[in-house]
Chains A and B, each alone.
Chain A
Amino acid sequence: MITHIKKIVLCVFALSISVYSYSHHAFTAEFDANAPVNLTGKVLKVEWINPHAWVHMEVEEAGKKTTWMVEGGTPNTLIRNGITKQSIKPGTVIVVRGYQSKGKLCLPRCIANGRDVTFPDGRKVFMGSSGTGAPRDGADPRERR
């Protein structure tokens, strides 16, 4: 029975991934450089997958809860920057700076490209990918060299 439930859960997750199967793309194809966002909320789910990790977080504003799905770099890039599965596990409250998707209907959830994430201990870390065409906003340490 448990195995059966696991299969169903896996199918639901697989479907949610395929729906957002942007795979690999240039920043400007999907995200709006004129729509910066600053999100504070609890991590609900992390898709630790290539080519982009996705962090699902619950953001509460004016009493309304909204789920945001934030795109990060490859998991390997995140690890090199100091973001691990442990540091960003569900339940952690984080602050993400990034840019919203060009589509802003937020159906079924809002989507953003994450540039940096701040952890509860104050540590701020670049969470994007270099060379994708994202705005040069100082988040990527490689741009400063």
Chain B
Amino acid sequence: MDLHDLMAHFLTPASEKIWNSSGSIITEEGELSLAPTNQEGWDEVIFGAQVLIESTYILNRPDRANGRKDWIEFSKLLEPIGKRALDAAERQNSEELFEIGADLYQACVACHNVYMKN
């Protein structure tokens, strides 16, 4: 699997499970939380977190890392974020996942600023 496909089919869907598990929609009628409303929804978030944890190792496969120190460091950001997300999802804490989702985005941007062309 090349890197584009890895991002598109693996990392992006996993990240979206974290991002989509928190936040809210605000209209004139009020505010609607996007937190999962049943165990099936929380299980999706748990799965996304587990994928993020494993992503550190998948991205650091020698043929992907190519010995690049910054690549390795960027990849290592995902494991602790995934573990925090897993912990929060198991406790069904959407507010915590909102904070973790922001940290996840910062980790993505840090690496993409160096390695993503569009």
* A interface residue numbers (CB < 8 A to B): 6, 9-10, 13-14, 17, 21, 23-24, 26, 28-29, 44-51, 74-77, 85, 89-91, 129, 131-132
Q: List 15 A-B contacts (CB under 8 A).
A: A10-B34, A23-B15, A24-B108, A24-B109, A24-B112, A47-B25, A48-B23, A49-B19, A50-B105, A51-B102, A75-B23, A76-B99, A85-B26, A91-B28, A129-B109
Q: Is the CB of B118 within 8 A of A45?
A: no
Known: A48-B25, A49-B34. 10 other contacts (CB 8 A): A10-B32, A13-B32, A24-B112, A28-B118, A44-B28, A47-B23, A51-B102, A75-B98, A75-B102, A76-B99
- B1 in the interface, Cβ–Cβ < 8 Å? no
Least CB separation from A77: chain B residue: B102
Instruction: Please indicate the chain A residues that have their CB under 8 angstroms from the CB of B12 in the complex.
Output: 23-24
Instruction: Please indicate the chain B residues that have their CB under 8 angstroms from the CB of A9 in the complex.
Output: 32
- B82 in the interface, Cβ–Cβ < 8 Å? no
Range class of the B interface residue count: 20 to 34
Q: Is the CB of B116 within 8 A of A26?
A: yes
**Alpha-carbon separation in the docked complex, A3 to B22 (Å):** 19
**Alpha-carbon separation in the docked complex, A15 to B88 (Å):** 25
Instruction: Please indicate the chain B residues that have their CB under 8 angstroms from the CB of A45 in the complex.
Output: 25-27
Given A10, A46, A129, which contacts B26 in the complex, CB threshold below 8 Å?
A46
* B interface residue numbers (CB < 8 A to A): 12, 15-16, 18-20, 22-28, 31-32, 34, 98-99, 101-102, 104-105, 108-109, 112-113, 116-118
Instruction: Please indicate the chain A residues that have their CB under 8 angstroms from the CB of B105 in the complex.
Output: 24, 50-51, 74
Instruction: Please indicate the chain B residues that have their CB under 8 angstroms from the CB of A50 in the complex.
Output: 18-19, 22-23, 98, 101-102, 104-105
Shortest CB–CB separation between residue A33 and chain B, in angstroms?
13
**Alpha-carbon separation in the docked complex, A115 to B98 (Å):** 23
Q: Is the CB of A23 within 8 A of B19?
A: yes
Least CB separation from A7: chain B residue: B37
